[in-house]
Amino acid sequence: EHEGNASSFGIFCHEFGHQLGLPDLYNTDNDSAGIGNWSLMATGAWNGSPQGSSPAHFDAWCKVELDWITPQTVPTSLIQQSIPQAETNPVAYKLWNNTMDTKEYFLVENRQSAYLLGKGLLIYHVDENQQNNNNQSHYMVALEQADGRLELEHKTNNRGDAGDPYPGNTSNKYFDDLSNPNSRTYSGKHTYIAVKNISNSDSTMTADLSVFPLNINLTSPNNDSMLSTNTPTFAWTSVEGVGTYTLTVGTRTFSVATTTTGTILYRPALPLEENAYYPWSVTAGTKKGTYTSETWYFWINVVNSPPSVPILSFPINGQTISQQTPTFRWQASTDPDPKDEVRYALMYWTGSGTKTSGGTITSNSWTPPQNLSEGSYSWNVVAVDTIGITTWSGTETFTIQMITENGGTITGKDGTTTVIFPEGAVHGIVMFDIFMPDEIDANVQQVIDAAANVSIATNTIRQMQVTSGQIVFAKPVTIYIPYSGTTTTLQAIYALSPYGIWERIENSSINTTTQTISAQVYFFSVFGIGAAADYCPSTNIISSVANWPNPFIGGKESTTIYYILKDNAAISINIYNPIGELVWNTQYPANSNGGRQGVNEITWDGKNGEGERVSQGIYFCVIEANGSRKIRKIGVK
């Protein structure tokens, strides 16, 4: 197709472009010209006289691909932007907005080469979702030909002419959504991209480059804001070519006609509703279509209102309870003011003075961290909103009385211990010995040794060894153990468990007047007063323990032990057999798998520490963390 004396220089340059990684930008099927003589990677390799002696430059897309240039991205608009010729300046402009796929965009450059058939601005339509220029209706890199004839897409033997650049021989100085050719996407969407007011061809040309914003920019009221006026002023940025906007606030619409450029301000005549939540947006209509802003939201809060009255629900007014750490509950307060958060403080007192909860409460319940003494109490709650407005509940009373069931008593006295069982509490004969502190021999001391777990208050213990084994009562039995001195180290009554460690009796009650500690029990064991502030935490960090399956076949199956931690904590897990011997144990540091806040789980395969299958029976899983302990019975088949 080319003259016999054609130069091979252009072909060498073209092939070198392939070595650099560039594709062919002509139609290799010969159905069309691609971008023709305007690019070295199309038929521009043959430019010059003789043919191929002065090949075309790489087009703007090729230069970007090779990182030879970085195109300047047009943010919104550049008015009368200078565009120097590409042959001597690394300049091209990229036009894109969010109406388009990220791989589809336009490039603009000024071409002034001597052997081109025309000179001026070249506008390329790029779609990198395509692989090549073989689809003449959808090139990867297409030239928007100013004359609108699409001759490069048709098999006309026209590989470029003076009608292709802007303004070209048709004096076309506008390229936008409505021009021919136009700036729509290949799918036909409006992009609102425009190259307008193009100057005559020269080594430096000028043009207005614009990317019409799809979204109108809202400025005030800010998104998610709280307004102290019910007649706010709305503000947004103007859009070129728009004279009328529609402001939508909630379900209301307002037509805003303006010639203002920059920031537009508008205040609706009607007041908005107190404590209401409003969405707002702006739309604008032009000949190119309707454009909508984002939707922002705001609240109206002119008058700050107090929270509703918190209604006390537990303890019920006048109620007698047998809990020394009752969970106080009340109906949650509501606040009509939007975004106000309600917090609480609780007050409880006896005749001796006033006590508070010791901190801010975020829920509608609270549990005291330490045991409350027996006696009568008054209590109330105050609700406080975000800005400090308060509402008080009413005041109600309750009484803590730990011994509420009819049962027998075990009362320790100096030198004498009396046991009185209620009718029907025990079937058969109970035989037991009473050991006073100065009568305990070495053998018995080993049985009740609790040094690793509980400190026993000196001269206050009354230990009762059941000779005939542990007895389970059919009715509750109340035990009273006297103490001497102060109560600063006393915590509760402890019972020696069958597996050799001390267990706290949770309903223990201290009476400082009679200097006794009492508790209700359903079994007979060795009892002692525990003085262990480090062992009996004010809050129980382990909230629940379970396992499944239970029972399970040891050595063949495993059981999963679940427990919930209220905070990260170091965990110790010990499993004892029915006679109190340790058969298996494990530890987990805080914030590890097994020691994290929330639900944790471990598995036990029914084997001891030596890997041997344990015998059938009931085993005791003891989980400890920060002095808190939970015990779970596990059956092994």
Each residue of 220-240: pLDDT tens digit? 999 989 999 999 999 998 876
**Sole residue written with tokens 């005041």:** 395
Residues 6+ apart with CB under 8 A from 215: 98, 291, 292, 293, 294
Closest CA to 128 of 139, 118, 117: 139
Stretch 173-194: mean pLDDT, rounded? 91
Closest CA to 92 of 10, 207, 197: 207
Q: What is the pTM of this model?
A: 0.42
**How many other C-beta atoms are found inside a 10 Å radius of the C-beta of residue 171?**
10
Closest CA to 511 of 319, 315, 324: 324
597, 565 Cβ separation under 8 angstroms? yes
- The superfamily in CATH containing domain 312-400 is Immunoglobulins (2.60.40.10)
Q: What is the Cα–Cα distance from 338 to 304, expressed in whole angstroms? A: 10
Q: What is the Cα–Cα distance from 38 to 141, expressed in whole angstroms? A: 11
Q: What is the CA radius of gyration of the chain?
A: 44
Q: Which tokens hold the place of 489?
A: 């180290």
Higher pLDDT, 464 or 204: 204
Q: Assess whether pLDDT exceeds 90 at residue 139.
A: yes
What type of residue sits at position 492?
A: A
Q: Which tokens hold the place of 235?
A: 């503000």
Stretch 545-574: mean pLDDT, rounded? 89
Q: What is the enclosing helix (H) or strand (E) of 444?
A: helix 442-447
Stretch 59-78: mean pLDDT, rounded? 94
Pick the CATH number of 218-300 from 1.10.10.350, 2.60.40.10, 3.40.50.720, 2.40.110.20: 2.60.40.10
**How many other C-beta atoms are found inside a 10 Å radius of the C-beta of residue 73?**
11
pLDDT at 389: 93
What type of residue sits at position 176?
A: D
Q: Assess whether pLDDT exceeds 80 at residue 578.
A: no
Q: Are strands 72-73 and 492-496 parallel, antiparallel or unpaired?
A: unpaired
Q: Assess whether pLDDT exceeds 90 at residue 298.
A: yes
Higher pLDDT, 379 or 436: 379
Which fold, 408-530?
Chondroitinase Ac; Chain A, domain 3 (2.60.220)
Which residues in the chain are classed under CATH 2.60.220? 408-530
DSSP string spanning 507-534? T-EEETTTTEEEEEEEEE--EEEE--TT
> pLDDT-based confidence at 506, cuts 50/70/90?
low
Which residues in the chain are classed under CATH 2.60.40.10? 218-300, 312-400
Q: Which tokens hold the place of 512?
A: 């400082």
| 246-275: pLDDT as tens digits | 999 999 999 998 888 888 999 988 889 998
Pick the CATH number of 542-636 from 2.60.40.4070, 3.40.50.10470, 3.30.70.3400, 2.40.110.10: 2.60.40.4070
Which residues in the chain are classed under CATH 2.60.40.4070? 542-636
Q: Assess whether pLDDT exceeds 80 at residue 429.
A: no
Q: Assess whether pLDDT exceeds 50 at residue 78.
A: yes
Q: Which tokens hold the place of 490?
A: 């006393």
Q: What is the Cα–Cα distance from 620 to 633, expressed in whole angstroms? A: 5
> pLDDT-based confidence at 484, cuts 50/70/90?
low
Q: What is the Cα–Cα distance from 49 to 86, expressed in whole angstroms? A: 22
